[in-house]
Amino acid sequence: LLLTKKGEQLTEVTGDSVLAKVKALVSKVRNAVSGKEETGIYKGFKYEETGVEGAQFEVYAKDTIYSPDGAKDEEGNLLVRYEKDDLVAKLTTDEEGMAVLNNLPLGTYYLKEVVAGENFVLNTEQKEFTLTAEDDTQAVVYEGVTYKNERQKVSVSVEKKDSVTGEKLEGVIFGLYAGEDIVSNQGEVLVEKDTLLEKKATDKNGNLTFDSDLPHGKYYVKEEVRKDGYLPNEEVWKVDASYENQNLEKIVLSKEVENQPTETWI
């Protein structure tokens, strides 16, 4: 049995596209007149499908598996190697995302993934495979099974409101920063700590969700531009988006941030 495990791994970080740069330039000219701060994505994360190391699988007998040499017991019954649903073997993928299991008796088996591998969501699909020989002269039978796992996503959101009235505040700009070096699957530093990744403004409901397709790691969020009539909020929100639960499709992190209105004395 040759098992192959695949999933998306972080390979590259890009800056603004040409179109984004043109839009940013137009925005700068427009905002120079209006006095507003520009927003938009500054860093894009690229992922490529590669082999996943460290994924763990279990192989079970789907049906009763008999001794391959045709041996029989004292009563003339074929010797049973594995009963139905017996655990046959455990496999762990290597750095290429592959695992090999040799010397399996002919028969039908099924695979279960028990550990997804770092950064991935567990694939709960059971996959069957059958080892059959075309004739008595075929000494070795090969079978390949491929598993693909979804990368666990990260969502970072902010809700902004008035600390006195609870009114939702539109147009407050927040910055998302790298809280540590962001490295590729090969260990290359792609983004240095404290790099600004994205700026975005709250909508009419006081909400924003950053658009960046973030890898797991540590980040922080801070207010960049306050709304007129409010004091600045200098709190830095530390965001821990580390990989933990392989059963979660998305890590959702959100924070409510308040601004105190300025007081007017007459």
Extract the runs of DSSP E, i.e. beta strands, from the chain: 2-14, 40-41, 44-51, 56-61, 65-66, 80-82, 87-92, 98-100, 107-115, 127-131, 144-148, 153-162, 173-178, 182-183, 189-191, 196-201, 207-209, 217-225, 236-241, 250-259
Q: Which residues of the chain fall short of a pLDDT of 50? A: 17-37
For 209-245, write each residue's pLDDT tens digit. Answer: 999 999 999 999 999 999 999 999 999 999 999 998 9
- 28, containing H or E segment: helix 18-34
Q: Tell me the β-bridge partners of 239.
A: 219
Q: Tell me the β-bridge partners of 22.
A: none
CATH of domain 152-266: 2.60.40.10
Which sequence spans correspond to the domains of the chain? 1-149, 152-266
- The per-residue pLDDT for 134 is 75
The structure's pTM equals 0.81
- The per-residue pLDDT for 265 is 55
Q: How many other CB atoms are there within 10 angstroms of residue 164's CB atom?
A: 10
Contacts of 87 (CB under 8 A, 6+ apart): 58, 59, 60
Single-letter residue type at 103:
N
| CATH class for the domain made up of 1-149 | mainly beta
Same fold, 1-149 and 152-266: yes
Is 248 strand, coil or helix? coil
Distance between first and last Cα of the chain:
82
